[in-house]
Every structure is written in C-alpha cells, then in structure tokens.
Amino acid sequence: MMFPKLALALYKGPYRWLGFGQTQVILILCHARSGSTLLNHILLSNQQILSNGERMFNYQSENDLDLFVMTARIRHRMFVKKFIYAVDQLTATGRLANLKLLNSPRVRVIFLIREPVAAISSMLKLAKAQNLKWDVDDASRYYMGRLNMLVHYGNVLKNSSHGLLITYNDIIENTSATLSRIQQFLLLKQPLSEQYLLQSFTGVHGDAPETIRKGQIVRNKPPSQIDCSPVMLEQLKNSFSECLQKLTVFK
C-alpha cells in the first residue's frame, strides 16, 4: 500500500509544483491478440509518450490515472522529462471499473479490433504455449463478449473527437496512412514509424518474442484457421462487422 500512496504524493506534489502538469492517458481498448502490444511499442517509440508495458493496471478513479503515469515514470526512471501522454492497453473488461473515466478531459481512446479468425487462432496458439485450457468455444465467447463491451464503451464516450477506431489490418496493410491518422488524432509533433524501440518488457507478455523483438512490423504471416462450426464462424464475423459499424463514428 505504501508505494501507490508515495507515487500519488509525488505526482500531486513536487511534479505539479515543478510545472509538469497533468499527463494525458491513452487507453487502447481492445481484445486479446488485436495487435495492441505492437501498437503500444509504436506509440512508445515517440518521444512524447510514456508507457508501463502490460501491467494489468486497474482504473477506478482519476487517482488511478495519476498513479499509472507516476508508476510508469518510476519504472523507466524518467523523473524529469515531460511527456504529453502515457499509454496503456486494456484487453479485459474488469480493468476499467469506472466508465466515467472515458469522458475525462485527459483521456484519449483508441479502439483496436482484429478480424475473428486471425484473432482467435492467435489466442489459441498463445493459450497452448502457456498450457492454458482454452478451446475455440472459450475464445469465441470471449471475443464476441469483448466486442460487445467495446461497443458499450463507444456509447459511453460522448466526444467522438476523443476516440479513434483502427483495425489490425489497418496497421499491417495500410501502415503509413494509419500511423498518420494516429499522429493527427493525438496531435503529436513527431511522426510515428513502423520501426520501434525494444523495451524491458518486450516479448515478456503478448506477442511471441520472435515477432515483437523484430523492432518493426512483421508482415506475410501464414493464413489463419480455426476449427469451429459454420454457424459459429458466421456469428463471429457478424460480431466483428457490427462492432465496426457501431464504432464508425470514431473512424
């Protein structure tokens, strides 16, 4: 309990007095295997952005936004440099306990989704690698439930200019235009690049180490397949299409 209290005290005390102001927070709201780790690395390579990696941080109040920023500073030992943003990726519904935070003036939201076959295939490969008992039905239920929650987040977010919708394929297949859109959305001075810096947490969670440690976007991956019924596959595709359609206001 002492560390969070100390981090908050530092952020709300000396850091404010020294003119650091209030760092804004980018929340990548997504499902597992959506490309969020890749996007996090691309954003973190920008000099105006700080990240804490995949730390499973929970948000219940504005204090948690401050705590996230300060713990990221402490982890990277970036105590005096000024950052405009700190970025986090949320793949689990419970981590954003207070939906009012979506409408905080200091929060910007990036919705990130991936088409179902590739996403679920990737989930199952990761589950197998980690010896998790997760089958295609488990992954499908999670995927559709998470997309429904992303739509709900979109309904809660009142200011459409504070949200941006992108897909995994946007990043991979339309890289330059997509990174330009993100740069404009965040009003970054420095352009984003598909080459990124490796971090202390690179390859520890999320993407396979041999992929994410390349330091750049990896393309030409083999086609994905999942073993599910035609009915389930149709439901998955419909869920993806409906999510895209309902979040179009953030496109």
Sketch out the chain's domains with CATH numbers: 2-250 (3.40.50.300)
Q: What is the residue type of 137?
A: D
- Our CA angle for 97, 103, 106, nearest 5°, is 100
- Mean pLDDT by groups of 10 residues along the chain of 251 residues: 55 58 90 94 93 82 88 79 91 94 97 97 91 94 98 97 98 97 97 90 68 87 89 98 98 90
The pTM of this model reads 0.92
Q: Structure tokens of 73?
A: 């500073």
Q: What is the pLDDT of residue 12?
A: 59
pLDDT value of residue 8: 59
Q: Give the list of residues 6+ apart from residue 140 with CB closer than 8 angstroms, or none.
A: 116, 120, 228, 232, 235, 236
Closest to 165 in 3D by CA, of 182, 143, 189, 188: 182
Task: Tell me how far apart the alpha carbons of residues 137 and 120 are, in angstroms, rounded to a whole number.
Answer: 10
Q: Quote the pLDDT of residue 1.
A: 38
